[in-house]
Amino acid sequence: MASSLISGLISHNYSADKITVTDPDQDKLGELKNQFGINTSTDNIQAVSNADVVVLAIKPQLMHEICEQIKQQVINKRPLIISIAAGIRSTDIDRWLGESNAIVRCMPNTPALIQAGATGLFANTNNSTAQKEIAEKILHSAGITLWVKEEAQLDAVTAVSGSGPAYFFLLIEAMQQAGVKLGLDADVAGQLAQQTALGAARMSIEGEDDPATLRSKVTSKGGTTAAAIASFEQNQFNDIVEQALTAARDRATELADQLGSL
């Protein structure tokens, strides 16, 4: 995810020499430096001491340790903190960093890797308007950005878009498998399912009609699409989706409770 943000920023003409990435893996740093021309370091403390914006693109399990490591530099410098670590609440990050920090917590998704992501953002009360704009600019480089008013809503964002790509991959996979059972070659069925998903998404995004209207327009009474939709509805498709997203939301909340207990 960090690589996708770097790529997005540079593609939007942000200067590479203003970006410093830290990582204990020298080989990974070498690859990033060669690819993007950015600054690299293994020293988190030094990097933070010179930063106006710190993006915490780390595994959630490492967040407490890293925050403790850079705490004094954050207190001294007071940079904007942007976290893209899933499941770590801004209140816990703030507590670990010494409190009263401007923190923007983000929930991006994997299509950010191709600058087609969707990111939900929440800013704590310590952020200025300018800092929120900076955070939005950084995350917008990898796709669309949407603000939520309450941090708890990020758990719903996780359920809808954070985990969402996997739901569509599952549907594409299921359509391909069904197509094979109906007599198509696997490659043909796969390409048809993939392109259909892409086309439907583009129509939904780029057109004037909402998804319900689009669906009704392609569902002729007594036709093939109507038969398929009726089958979905008979099997409680909407209920299945709601139950799945609720399970994802509840798990996100549970993880936040566990990870923030330190």
Position 195 confidence tier, pLDDT thresholds 50, 70, 90: very high
Show me where the domains of the chain are located: 2-157, 164-255
Long-range pairs of 9-17 with CB within 8 A, sequence gap ≥ 24 = 9/138, 9/141, 10/36, 11/115, 11/141, 12/141, 14/141
Q: What is the pLDDT of residue 114?
A: 92
Q: What is the pLDDT of residue 120?
A: 98
CATH H superfamily, domain 2-157: NAD(P)-binding Rossmann-like Domain (3.40.50.720)
Residue 81, beta-bridge partner list = 54, 103
Return the percentage of the chain with pLDDT > 70, whole number: 100
**This prediction's pTM:** 0.90
| pLDDT tens figures, 153-164 | 999 999 999 999
Residue 27 contacts residue 138 (beta carbons within 8 Å): no
Return the percentage of the chain with pLDDT > 90, whole number: 95
Using CB atoms within 10 A of its CB, is residue 72 exposed (0-12), middle (13-18) or buried (19+)? middle
The DSSP output letter for 144 is E
Position 261 confidence tier, pLDDT thresholds 50, 70, 90: confident
246, pLDDT greater than 90 = yes
262, pLDDT greater than 90 = no
Mean pLDDT of 158-180: 97
Q: What is the pLDDT of residue 80?
A: 98
Nearest residue to 48 via CA among 26, 21, 24: 21
Mean pLDDT of 138-143: 94
Q: What is the pLDDT of residue 97?
A: 97
| Calculated CA dihedral for residues 139, 144, 147, 153, nearest 10 degrees | -100
| pLDDT tens figures, 103-128 | 999 999 999 989 999 999 999 999 99
| pLDDT tens figures, 14-26 | 999 999 999 999 9
Helix (H, G, I), strand (E, B) or coil at 143: strand
Nearest residue to 120 via CA among 164, 87, 153, 88: 153
Reading the block at residue 81, the tokens are 């903190």
Average predicted confidence (pLDDT) for the chain? 96
1, pLDDT greater than 90 = no
| pLDDT tens figures, 74-97 | 999 999 999 999 889 999 999 999
CATH of 164-255, one of 1.10.10.10, 1.10.3730.10, 3.40.50.2300, 3.60.90.10: 1.10.3730.10
